[in-house]
Amino acid sequence: MGTAVQQLALVDCNNFYVSCERVFRPDLKRVPMVVLSNNDGCVVSRSNEAKALGIRMGQPWFECKALAEEHGILAMSSNYALYADLSNRVMNILSQFAPRHEVYSIDECFVDLTGIPKLRDVSYTMRERVTKWSGIPVCVGIGPTKTLAKLANHVAKKHPRSRGVFNYNALTEDQKAHLLQRIPVEEVWGVGRKLTQKLALQGVRTANDLRQAHVPTLRDEFGVVMEKIQRELQEIACIDLQEIQPDRQQIISSRSFGSMVTQLPILQDALSTFVANACAKLRAQNSHAAVLQVFLQTNRFRKELPQYMPSLAVPLPYPTNDSLEVNRWASYLCERMFKPEYQYKKAGIMLSEISPVTHRQGDLLEPETTSNSRLMVALDSLNQRYGRGTVKVSTQGSYMAWQMKQERMSPSYTTNWDELPQA
């Protein structure tokens, strides 16, 4: 008796950020609209109507303004708190359909439906329940591997006859080959633009070409990662579900500023916010870091301005996840690098050499500082209960000069008591 074919579903939210904005604004349902990145810079989500008008993903907003005025395209600033909350609601609904699932990104989730009867009915039920309970439309693609589930989801989105659900496993071998021959290789998960160009030189232009490519040549030219992608297309699972996310080995927290910054206290204020966010992530995974790196950047797109992009790293006296301790070092490094003649557009920190808090190496030459662990626990508890940033380190967030531009942001309908929708 053969092993049952894996029925792995990828559930992907359609135009997620735009869909989140429409949950509380049904009047925008047919309006062409986009959501912009940090500082309202580039397009990061598009409605189908905006796609039809030629708006490209990642396109700078200033390039779209003439088209937007002509066709009445609405642009919104990113409302990350709202998107994260609605994402959690979607993922909680999906977790009710199968014990094994992996939240892959803010708008994607793999669900293992292997062994579940009436798979097509279940898939439509899953899609309808998510839409009804959260307001977010989704599509479901089913395949024997993650890569093929991704491609099945692509088909579910592109072809109206599928009604949002497509099962690759239900096809015959001839149908599978015909389908993969119609899908450009750039649509395969893990194949980017540069790899697409290199694969074309090998005569590989479609997903089916990649599936049938000569294995030794593929391995020699592109390495083991491309071989894994090929095996996944051949229905050999090489990428398992990650039900438990591994601890991060590096944590980076950075941001582009809403306007140029020329004063040291403002840079230090921004860094204190990045430190608070990074250390909270450290504590959440019960880890501490031994190395801190701080970097500053001018605007590399403004060629007429003098450029300066310094970076300094320091080994901490002891591994720590204490926001106060890390912030003191970040402030010191920032002061060391700061030069008043430059205009700064971005700053950030990176924590590395991360290990569990149970692993600690002492130092005979450096006295250990008093731990603020109870204070950090209290800080995290209050911020989790009342919202991030409720309790801050020192003057964190006091200066507005570095804050993001969010001139088009919608209310925080589900995360702020003062902005709850009113009937």
| pLDDT tens figures, 230-274 | 999 999 998 887 655 666 788 999 888 888 999 999 999 999 989
Q: Please report the sign of the dihedral spanned by the C-alpha atoms of residue 417, residue 108, residue 24, residue 96.
A: negative
The 10s digit of each residue's pLDDT in 333-366 is: 999 999 999 999 999 999 998 888 876 555 555 5
Task: Please report which confidence band the pLDDT of residue 211 belongs to, taking 50, 70 and 90 as the band edges.
Answer: very high
Residue 217: predicted pLDDT: 82
Residue 367: pLDDT band with limits 50, 70, 90: low
Q: Is the pLDDT of residue 113 over 90?
A: yes
Give the model's pLDDT for residue 146. 94
**CB distance 330 to 322 below 8 Å:** no
* Phi and psi, residue 347, nearest 5°: -150, 165
Angle, in degrees to the nearest 10, between helices 224-233 and 146-158 = 60
Contact 42, 28 (CB under 8 A): no
> Is the separation of the CB atoms in 131 and 123 below 8 Å?
no
Mean pLDDT of 64-84: 91
* Percent share of the chain, pLDDT over 90: 52
User: Distance between the two ends of the chain, CA-based, in angstroms?
Assistant: 59
| Residue reference for tokens 């200033």 | 62
Residue 85 vs residue 395, higher pLDDT: 85
Gap between the Cα atoms of 210 and 230, Å rounded: 6
Mean pLDDT of 270-290: 90
The dihedrals phi and psi of 392, each to the nearest 5 degrees, come to: -120, 165
What would the mean pLDDT of 293-318 be, rounded to a whole number? Answer: 90
pLDDT of residue 1: 43
The pTM assigned to this predicted structure is: 0.74
On average, the pLDDT of the chain sits at 87
* CA distances for 406 relative to 170, 258, 295, angstroms: 46, 9, 24
Residue 314: C-alpha distances to residues 67, 183, 283, 338, 391 (Å): 48, 48, 20, 16, 27
Task: Tell me what pLDDT residue 384 has.
Answer: 73
Continuous segment of H or E residues that includes residue 333: helix 323-337
pLDDT-based confidence at 394, cuts 50/70/90?
low
Residue 422 has pLDDT above 80, yes or no: no
Q: Which of 94-98, 146-150, 331-335, 398-402 has the lowest mean pLDDT?
A: 398-402
Tokens read off for 74:
């609405």
What's the pLDDT score for residue 377?
80
pLDDT at residue number 10: 95
Torsion sign over Cα 33, 108, 246, 236: negative
| Interatomic CA distance for residues 220 and 201, integer angstroms | 14
Spatial CA neighbour of 233 closest among 213, 249, 250, 253: 213
Q: How many residues does the chain have?
A: 423
Q: What is the mean pLDDT of residues 318-328?
A: 90
pLDDT number for residue 186: 92
pLDDT of residue 179: 94
Look at 43-47, 88-92, 253-257, 348-352 and tell me which has the smallest mean pLDDT.
253-257
For residue 403, the model assigns a pLDDT of 67
Q: Which of 204, 225, 211, 150 is nearest to 176 (CA)?
A: 211
Least confident of 156-160, 363-367, 372-376: 363-367
